[in-house]
Amino acid sequence: MIGACVPYPGELPDDGRGRSFTGIVEGAYPGLDAGYNETQGLHFQVKAYGIDVVRAVSDKAEESYNRIMTDTGLYSFKPRGMYQIVVYGTQDEFRKKTGQPDWSAGVAVGNAIYTYVSPRLEGVLSHEMTHLIWFEFMGGRLTQEHRWINEGLAVFEEAKAVDPRGGASLFGSLRQTLRSSPIPMDQMMRLVPATERAYEVSLWYAQAEDMVRFLIQRGGRIGFSQFLTALRDGKDLDRAVSEGFPGQWRALEDFDLQWRRSLP
Ligand SMILES: [Zn+2]
């Protein structure tokens, strides 16, 4: 039901300058029809129909942004420019203008999020925003074996946007399966779902979320920021784990083992 997520190399629409992945893609999809409203907050330029919608989305977006920065410990990270949020009036308009499949509720491309008015808007924004921040923080380099961390963080933040106290889980029905037969670590990195279709019933997504939750809650937010920084600097996962969480985990296998033991 939720976004198709951040496109990986080869999936990006041509922005007129070739598939310049490191560049900011502006106006990747057709915008809103005449008469829309817009506002600029601290980090987001929001476009939507109706001034009340624009204001509400802008407030929620800034809230989500702050929550993501707090959880990741990336306070020193400063985006190069404003992120764009385009909120179409209906799912129909979203589908027609972005060409997204009917199960997609939002998509992040370049420095922009495209979505539509729906009861899940807040969660979608948090999810896709996490991808924008990840993309820019990583210098536009997306690595397939890091995807479980990128998606895990996105669904972790989505769940928090829906319920800031963290009580609700997106993956309630999968908890039992996660306990009894978690996915081996090498498969988490290699066998990444091709799309986000029905991701809320995907064991891979449930496990990615739980692993990232464990990294942040057991390893600490400062450690998590150092872990992400090491990945950005091109260190491998073992090295990033040991640099980010010294005294906690020596390598990825060590983290994985303790995460498995943490399952109730
Ligand atoms: Zn995603």
151 CA from centroid of ligand 1 (Å): 5
pLDDT for the residue numbered 175: 83
Task: Please state the length of the chain.
Answer: 264
150 CA from centroid of ligand 1 (Å): 7
Burial (CB count <10 Å: 0-12, 13-18, 19+), residue 56: middle
133 CA from centroid of ligand 1 (Å): 12
Tens place of pLDDT per residue across the chain (264 aa): 234 454 444 444 433 333 333 344 456 899 999 999 999 999 999 999 999 999 999 999 999 999 999 999 888 888 888 999 999 999 999 999 999 988 899 998 888 999 999 999 999 999 999 999 998 899 888 888 999 999 999 999 999 998 866 655 678 778 888 999 999 999 999 988 888 887 877 899 999 999 999 999 999 999 999 999 999 999 999 999 999 999 999 999 999 999 999 998
Measure the CA–CA gap between 66 and 63, rounded to whole angstroms: 5
Distance of CA 245 to the CA centre of its chain: 22
Structural tokens at position 130: 């996490």
Question: Are 252 and 241 spatial neighbours (Cβ–Cβ below 8 Å)?
Answer: yes
24 CA from centroid of ligand 1 (Å): 19
107 CA from centroid of ligand 1 (Å): 9
| Domains in the chain, CATH or no CATH each | 37-137 (3.40.30.160), 144-262 (no CATH)
Structural tokens at position 104: 């997609």
Q: Which residue has the tokens 């988490």?
A: 188
233 CA from centroid of ligand 1 (Å): 22
158 CA from centroid of ligand 1 (Å): 10
3 CA from centroid of ligand 1 (Å): 6
6 CA from centroid of ligand 1 (Å): 6
- 3-class DSSP assignment, residue 109: strand
Measure the CA–CA gap between 247 and 229, rounded to whole angstroms: 18
pLDDT for the residue numbered 4: 44
Tell me the per-residue pLDDT of 213-248, one tens digit each, with 9 for 90 and over: 999 999 999 999 999 999 999 999 999 999 999 999
Dihedrals phi, psi of 3, to nearest 5 degrees: -45, 155
217 CA from centroid of ligand 1 (Å): 21
201 CA from centroid of ligand 1 (Å): 14
Beta-sheet strand order (sheet of 83-88): 37-40, 44-48, 83-88, 112-116, 106-109
Would the pTM of this model clear 0.75, i.e. be above it?
A: yes
pLDDT for the residue numbered 57: 97
263 CA from centroid of ligand 1 (Å): 24
79 CA from centroid of ligand 1 (Å): 20
